[in-house]
Amino acid sequence: MDINQRRQYIIDMVKEQGVVRIADISHELNVTRETIRKDIYTLDKQGLIQAVRGGATASETVSGTKYGHRTAINIPEKQQIAQNAIRFIHDGDSIFLDYGTTAFEVAEAIKRSSLKNITIITNSTTVLSTLLYEKKVDMIFLGGSVRGDEGSVSGPLTLDNINNIYADVGFFGSGGVNLTAGVTNHYFGEVEVSKQMMAHCRIKIVLADHTKFEKTALYRTANINDIDVVITDDAINPQIAKDMCLADVSFINGELTSKDVTID
């Protein structure tokens, strides 16, 4: 059982039983208590369960929000995307991470990586809390009006702060991706932040699990040809993957890359 399967098992047991003990899960999965404790701590930070002394219980707060619900969906796919995403980051880079759940997985991947001297710019309170105390990371939080159910900030203050900030690489989530409508998302305020930040990123990368393709959200963030790289997982429909590979964008589908991409 790998780490993703183990954590999904913990989530399933919490949903089924309401509360689980570290000792019981450790015995059932034949792994150390420290491993289960770390898993529970990570899942607690994601809002999927609530860590308590000696175990975990169902979260009664974050998991009820739209963001909390999405963090529990397609976790292995988002983690696969995140692992491919950090290939584009080098020591000393400045990085923008938006408020999406896949961007959160990129933040987690950065934390586990050997990267150092990274500057992270974000409009996500979740990304901020995840990386705030990492010594290898300098954080820049854009500030602005907070939308609690997404943990995101937007509005005039956010846009004004972006004016003087530039990044080497920007990672942007999406509500939908298709060749006609481009990259779209659901919330006007956050879309305006993404648009302005895209103009300030040398490399623009869209993160989208396979469920986002051929969907269209309300507001357009960018045309496909405005994006440098699209990263998805290997569960994407083969025909959609083929169409994306023919577009004027570098496309990473699981472990397969349509074009060689380097960041100088």
Q: Kindly report the pTM of this predicted structure.
A: 0.72
Using DSSP, state whether 53 is helix, strand or coil: coil
Write the CA distances from 37 to 23, 48, 113, integer angstroms.
10, 14, 20
Which whole number is the average pLDDT over 122-135? 93
By DSSP bridging, strand 50-52 and strand 137-141 are: unpaired
Predicted pLDDT of residue 66: 59
Residue type present at position 95: I
Name residue, tokens 């701590």: 41
**Given its phi and psi angles, is residue 182 left (phi above 0), alpha (psi -120 to 50 degrees) or beta?**
left
State the pLDDT confidence band at 258, using cuts at 50, 70 and 90: very low
Specify the range with the lowest mean pLDDT, choosing from 74-78, 100-104, 226-230.
74-78
User: Is residue 140's pLDDT more than 90?
Assistant: yes
Asked whether 236 and 132 are in contact (CB, 8 A), the reply is no
Between residues 258 and 139, which one has the greater pLDDT? 139
Average predicted confidence (pLDDT) for the chain? 87
Question: Quick check: 187 pLDDT over 90?
Answer: no
Among 92-96, 122-126, 203-207, 244-248, the range scoring the smallest mean pLDDT is 244-248
